[in-house]
Structure 1
Amino acid sequence: MTPRIKLRLEYDVPLVLGPGKLQLLSLIDRLGSISAAGREMGMSYKRAWSLIEEMNSAFAAPVVASSRGGKGGGGATVTATGQEVMRRFQALENLLADQGADELAALSALLKPA
């Protein structure tokens, strides 16, 4: 049994940063749309937009820039700040997995057999 690490960062500013928000950013980056990213995650546009607003207001610069829909169509892009948030979050996950491998193995050894 190999455990999976799910990193969750809680800040004093109203922000919790975890795998769900990072997946949302990644999907927006890939799809160019908040609504399409939300649909792929099984959430409403309103919920997806709420999560983006939470992140945009917590960081010094927005993580997602969006333009209104309509005749010409809208869209969303992950900003340079958003790209850096994704990179650093992934780096932390990798660091925990790599540096914590011995501890994870020791904890796993304490589990009951499957």
Structure 2
Amino acid sequence: MKKLMRDILTNGEFRVNGSLWLEGNGTRFFGPGPVELLQLIEETGSINQAAKKMSMSYKKAWEIVNRLNEIVGSPMVITATGGEKGGGSSLSDEAKELIEWYVSLRERFRRFIEEETLKLH
């Protein structure tokens, strides 16, 4: 196996790669896209504005938020309707903790990928 790998790897520049998602009940539900959406909701105070910044439809953003809420079992996004400012959205403490944990996990995953890529050379 070592000779085969060495032969393969001398024919180009190779690197280890991968993506990282959380799955629940066999469904991908938390990864780069949903994390970015939640971060933009927190930044803008609006699901609609967050969706626009991602060039995503409002309907798609709501589908992501609803799927997160269903799988996690508690609201990730807290919405307020009406009022002087027309309502808005914010993240629950659970959503903020999940994002923080995921960002940390991504960093560990990035380091793992980097270390494995170095072993190829």
Is 2:79 the counterpart of 1:66?
yes
Partners of 2:75 and 2:97 in 1: CA distance: 11
Report how far residue 67 of structure 1 moved. 1.5
Is 2:48 the counterpart of 1:35?
yes
Partners of 1:38 and 1:69 in 2: CA distance: 19
Q: Alignment identity in percent? A: 31
Aligned residues, how many? 108
Q: Give the corresponding residue for 2:99.
A: 86
AA aligned opposite 2:54: M
SS of alignment partner, residue 76 of structure 1? strand
Is 2:117 the counterpart of 1:104?
yes
TM-score by length of 1: 0.80
AA aligned opposite 1:90: V
Single out whichever of 64-73 and 28-37 deviates more from structure 2: 64-73
CA RMSD of aligned residues (A): 2.3
Partners of 1:106 and 1:68 in 2: CA distance: 54
TM-score by length of 2: 0.76
Structure 1 residues not aligned, in runs of 5+:
110-114
Structure 2 residues not aligned, in runs of 5+:
1-12
Q: Give the corresponding residue for 2:108.
A: 95
Report how far residue 100 of structure 1 moved. 4.1
Deviation >6 Å, runs of 4+? 1-4
Over 3 Å counting, the alpha-carbon distance change for 1:43 and 1:69 in structure 2 is: farther
| Contact 1:22–1:86 (Cα < 8 Å) also in 2 | yes
